[in-house]
Structure 1
Amino acid sequence: MRGMQLSDWKREGRMFSFEGHRIFYRDEGAGDVLLCLHGFPTSSWDWSRIWPQLIQRFRVVAPDLLGYGFSDKPSRHVYSVLEQATLTERLMESLGITHAHVLSHDFGVSVVQELLARQLEREQAGRPGLVLRSSCFLNGGLFPEVYQPRLIQRLLASPVGSVIARLFNQRSFERSFSAIFGEKTRPSKQELNEFWEVISHNAGSRVSHRLISFMADRVRHRERWTGALQRTRVPLRMVNGSVDPVSGAHMAKRYRELIPNPDIVSLEGIGHYPMVEAPQAVLEALFSFSARSAQE
């Protein structure tokens, strides 16, 4: 299942201004809103394989978060999950959207955890704001105590991270990126070229050591974000590629231990990018979940 060409994806996108930065996003389809939040180090392009089916069912909004994809990538910026959550709220507000389902992946799951925590606070205070109707998590580091970052991520987060970012190239990217896919679902050379084109757009690979700050944010806000998952009344589902070495079956196991009435769909033989590796399975899991959530 292939979506559109990368050049079409970029051309049909729009720009939103956030704190003086240009944020790229896609907004297409009609009906209930589905917000799609990508992960590190990629972009909204990750959703392209399932995009045609998504927009038949939803109005889909998918931003490139600050520092990613075709959005601005300020080189001296201090990036944070909290700011990305605020960016997401502002984008939705600018589009007149008050309610949305959400599909998230990788570091995008942390943005959703913060959005859920804010939603709980607003509910308690009686304040208006973005209301998440359901949340479907793909592979991501929901719980830092069992998250297993790759060597390149640990190096980027280390004191020599800026040096590593300057040395990071397409060859090293392809090697580390392919390793987190399932054995039978690894990306083709064309797909790797497309992923790298978006990552390296506007010298994006040079800020990767700054973007990786989300790993420290997860530890810093662990109690707040885990508590949000445990206390929220928003329906939750995890769709997990089991052989992902970063956040696969071990993350699903921890989710089952910590989250009341856990709803988990395990995809055997699938790695870190289920929407790329098993697009039909992700669509089926999302559609059945969102339909049920809409009735609750």
Structure 2
Amino acid sequence: MSGLPGIALADWRAGGQDFEFRGHALRYWTAGPDDAAPLLLIHGFPTASWDWHYVWAPLAAQYRLIACDMLGFGDSAKPRGHAYSLLEQADVQQALLAHLGVAGPVHVLAHDYGDSVAQELLARHHEQRIQLASCVFLNGGLFPETHHPVLVQKLLLSPLGPLFGKLFSRRTLAANFAKVFGPQTQPSEQELDDFWNLIAHNDGPAVMHRLIRYMPERRVQRERWLAAMQRGGVPLRLIDGALDPISGAHMLARYRELIPAADTVSLEGIGHYPQTEAPALVLQHYLAFRQTLEARDETTATA
């Protein structure tokens, strides 16, 4: 389906390492040359960094890749009763970079929930708290007014959230993914098993109602994040699966309205998970973006 070989979940897990963040063990992965430009990959909700497995090896041929399962996700700690926050997840990313000794400008590739973390990092760039070299967004709720949550997200956010989270199952996941993936790019049964394995690890459904609080947090941060995106100085691109009912063509249209000289790519026939539905296209458009940046930098250097 993907056109790229990908990495089996067992092999992916075998390549992970741990670091400690505020007393919690977080799992992370690195690849590529240590002297290459660092590229931070930030996954979405409710999945994990394995989402990037199709594009991982091709990107590692050129860049120093860094990714972690954020707090509450995948193979990282999922503390009960924790007040999960997008701002804290941005702290996680900065702590991982510090752990790895990455001090210079960082490129970012983000998806879904990870888009919001990337927006926070972009705001921090303008506050001189981190240096970003570029940021590419895949489908995600960049603007609260265009985010169309599915029913399961609404239920998790409701007073019934704790109960519904505990009832969340592989069957629930499959039903929801069927709605948000493109009709021709549906996940296989094996992929669904693997996605579910990561979500269910360490009783992840028990914290889903706490993780989902990112939706109101996005509204609180909207103006600050939008100002950071509109300010310029950090090259941005949006690569968007157009058929995604959550953040597809309607979100891309809003992006073009709000972001000056918007650089956008619409993937027709693709849904909410472009990096697993059409990884070869995501790779093509990401590498083209980076080549444009490199050509611009060379022109600037020789001017």
C-alpha deviation, 1:111, in angstroms:
0.5
C-alpha deviation, 1:292, in angstroms:
1.8
* 1:195 and 2:202 matched: no
Map of 1:50 onto structure 2: 55
Q: Which amino acid aligns with 2:42?
A: L
Map of 2:300 onto structure 1: none
Q: Which amino acid aligns with 1:222?
A: R
Map of 1:77 onto structure 2: 82
| Maintained 8 Å contact 1:120/1:232 | no
SS at match of 1:145: helix
Quote the Cα distance in structure 2 between the aligned partners of 1:166 and 1:151: 16
Quote the Cα distance in structure 1 between the aligned partners of 2:127 and 2:139: 26
- Which of residues 94, 115, 120 is equivalent to 1:114? 120
- Which of residues 12, 15, 20 is equivalent to 2:15? 12
Consecutive unaligned residues in structure 1, runs of 5 or more: 123-128
Map of 2:250 onto structure 1: 250
| Maintained 8 Å contact 1:14/1:24 | yes
- Which of residues 34, 37, 42 is equivalent to 1:37? 42
* 1:62 and 2:67 matched: yes
Quote the Cα distance in structure 1 between the aligned partners of 2:38 and 2:285: 17
Map of 2:224 onto structure 1: 224
| Maintained 8 Å contact 1:242/1:267 | yes
Quote the Cα distance in structure 2 between the aligned partners of 1:194 and 1:210: 22
| Maintained 8 Å contact 1:80/1:214 | yes
TM-score by length of 1: 0.96
Quote the Cα distance in structure 2 between the aligned partners of 1:293 and 1:137: 16
Quote the Cα distance in structure 2 between the aligned partners of 1:274 and 1:133: 23
Q: Which amino acid aligns with 1:204?
A: G
Map of 2:214 onto structure 1: 214
Quote the Cα distance in structure 2 between the aligned partners of 1:169 and 1:236: 36
Identity %: 50
- In the TM superposition, what whole-angstrom CA distance separates every residue of 1:17-60 from its partner, at most 9, and x where no partner exists? 10000111101111111100000000000000111101111110
Consecutive unaligned residues in structure 2, runs of 5 or more: 298-303
Quote the Cα distance in structure 1 between the aligned partners of 2:85 and 2:187: 29
Map of 1:126 onto structure 2: none
C-alpha deviation, 1:2, in angstroms:
2.6
| Maintained 8 Å contact 2:124/2:130 | no
Q: Which amino acid aligns with 1:36?
A: L
| Maintained 8 Å contact 1:97/1:130 | no
Quote the Cα distance in structure 2 between the aligned partners of 1:10 and 1:140: 25
When the two structures are aligned, how many residues end up with a matched partner?
A: 290
The range that moved more, 88-97 or 235-244, is 88-97
Give 4+ residue runs of structure 1 displaced > 3 Å after superposition.
none
| Maintained 8 Å contact 1:242/1:270 | yes
Q: Which amino acid aligns with 1:193?
A: D
- In the TM superposition, what whole-angstrom CA distance separates every residue of 1:152-188 from its partner, at most 9, and x where no partner exists? 0000011110010011111111111221000000000
* 1:102 and 2:134 matched: no
TM-score by length of 2: 0.94
SS at match of 2:184: coil
Quote the Cα distance in structure 1 between the aligned partners of 2:238 and 2:279: 15
Q: Which amino acid aligns with 1:61?
A: I
C-alpha deviation, 1:95, in angstroms:
0.8
Q: Which amino acid aligns with 1:13?
A: G
CA RMSD of the aligned region, Å?
Answer: 0.9
Q: Which amino acid aligns with 1:265?
A: V
| Maintained 8 Å contact 2:29/2:66 | yes
After the TM superposition, which residues 140-151 of structure 1 pair with which residues of structure 2 at under 5 Å, given as runs?
140-151=140-151
